[in-house]
Copies of this chain bind each other. A is one copy, B any other.
Amino acid sequence: MTAYTELSAHFSRASALSNAVGILQWDSDVMMPKGAVGTRAESLALLRVLHHGLVTDPRVGDWLSRAETDNGLGEWERANLREIHRLWTVQTALPSDLVEATSRAVSACEMAWRKARAEADFASLLPLLEEVLRLQREIGAAKGEKLGLSPYDALLNDYEPGGRSARIDALFDDLAAFLPAFTDKVLDIQARRPKTAPPEGPFPVEAQRALGLEMMKVVGFDFERGRLDVSTHPFCGGADDDVRITTRYNESDFSSALMGVLHETGHALYEQGRPAAYLSQPVGQARSMSVHESQSLLMEMQACRSREFIAFAAPRMRTAFGGAGPAWETDAVWRHYTTVKRGFIRVDADEVTYPAHVILRYRLEKALIAGDMALADLPGAWAEGMKSLLGVVPPDDRLGCLQDIHWPSGGWGYFPTYTLGAMTAAQLFDAACTADTDILPGIARGDFGPLLGWLRTHVHAHGSRLETDALLTQATGRPLDAGVFKAHLERRYGGDQE
């Protein structure tokens, strides 16, 4: 066996473990009875330790140095080596006591966070969150030293390989300069448009589920290799060839579950479209979190809140729930799906105000990791940031800096990928519609074939072969900028309501 073959077999085993973890994690959130929490935690912890043991196996380093001088390898193989090298570097960067201390600190902090959030009590969380932050800074420093990056960039790099804060600063500053005045303008436009009460429920869960499944089929989800289920927090998970999305149903409003399903289906289509020959290899994985989020937002925001899609979907919604009256007219449904509101909560935010939530978090976590800000000052800085970016100030920390699980659970460096994803989605969708003028007409008639075909060719089938900039340049002619996203917002929200 060549060194490359050894590596490839080795990482196939790692993949068999990740796939097991993926299904067990899905089961924990969707199926597992409460009493099994402890047993399941043991199984997941062991499988993760075994996975980490495979990736950091000393033989990986030897195989890598031999394989990297092998001139007989093709482009995919070389890209696979690059991805394996990256994983190996990052995972061997951390001493095992730091991994263990983090795992313990995060468990304790997550638990305290649930209580602190419910009680809007930041002070009670502070000491535990201090500990998580301290360990994240250590992790960032350790990885940063190996990678030649600042601690924050080293953390970001786990979610967004190649992502750098200097670049994000520029992109986000551009948006931050644009959004406040733009939001004022949109709110003003929307205040003047006709008011229609939204469709009235109840909307039975079974009918919502049937509509969701129908729309997943329309969009191109492959049910031979995936499922739709219910969980408290919607997600896309599962395993290779087994992509499972979830949603939650609210019988008095069907639109959030439906758009949630379309969002997760966007993630799922990416997973289902990864290159079959490299499914179990690092090079066959999704490129990055921003590219992943671009696929969900492209589907939900770009494609499925378009007038074209709503014109197709509105009559089907009406049929699904036996609705009647003006609330079910295409125009009314479209206005309902494109309403903009200032709010305190990120996950409830619309397309226009969402970036402000993300930019705030990005700036704060960067300052906290750099040590430029004390954690005790977070609530004040949050209020100030909300005021300047969104024009509202939350009445308490429950609606403020305690709302998200990311920081307590150790997900530092993740937030910017949401808005990078939104910008990437706009740039990709624009390029797709320019390249194939049948994409929008297709959507209008419920035929997502042209769109999915373009995404398969230009995004999904590449897995991680290309790095993010190269992927985007290949697909759209240039690396990411904020221009297309701003133009999209202008066109959808800033004019005469297209």
Contact = CB atoms under 8 A, between A and B. Distances in A.
A455 B45 CA distance: 34
Interface string A10-34: 0011011101100110010001111
A395 interface: no
A381 interface: no
B43 A226 contact: no
A152 B27 CA distance: 39
Contacts of A12: 42
Interface string A35-78: 11011101101110010000000000000000000000000000
Q: Specify the main secondary structure of chain A where it touches its partner.
A: helix
A35 B225 contact: yes
Contacts of A241: 33, 35-36, 38-39
A39 B240 contact: yes
Interface string A188-225: 00000000000000000000000000000000001111
B227 A31 contact: yes
A224 B34 contact: yes
Given A43-B19, A50-B50, A242 B36 contact: yes
A239 interface: yes
Contacts of A45: 16
Contacts of A27: 23, 27
B19 A42 contact: yes
Contact of A224 (B15, B35, B225, B227): B35
A26 to B, nearest CB: 9
A20 to B, nearest CB: 4
A35 B227 CA distance: 11
Contacts of A280: 42
A46 B225 CA distance: 21
Given A23-B27, A27-B23, A43-B19, A226 B33 contact: yes
Interface string A250-291: 000000000000000000000000000001100000000000
Interface string A335-374: 0000000000000000000000000000000000000000
A242 B16 contact: no
Interface in A128-187: none
B43 A239 contact: yes
Contact of A46 (B17, B223, B226): B17
Contacts of A36: 225, 239-242
A46 B13 contact: yes
A280 to B, nearest CB: 8
A227 B226 CA distance: 22
Contacts of A239: 36, 39-40, 43
A227 B17 contact: no
Nearest to A226: B33
A38 B224 CA distance: 13
Contacts of A35: 222, 224-225, 241-242
Nearest to A36: B242
A222 B34 CA distance: 11
A24 B36 CA distance: 15
A43 B31 contact: no
A50 to B, nearest CB: 7
A444 to B, nearest CB: 30
Contact of A16 (B17, B31, B46, B225): B46
A28 to B, nearest CB: 9
Contacts of A47: 20
Contacts of A20: 20, 24, 43, 46-47
Given A23-B24, A27-B27, A17 B33 contact: no
25 contacts: A13-B46, A16-B43, A17-B46, A19-B39, A19-B42, A19-B43, A20-B43, A20-B47, A23-B27, A23-B43, A27-B27, A31-B227, A32-B242, A33-B223, A33-B225, A34-B224, A35-B222, A35-B241, A36-B225, A36-B241, A39-B240, A39-B241, A39-B279, A42-B280, A50-B50
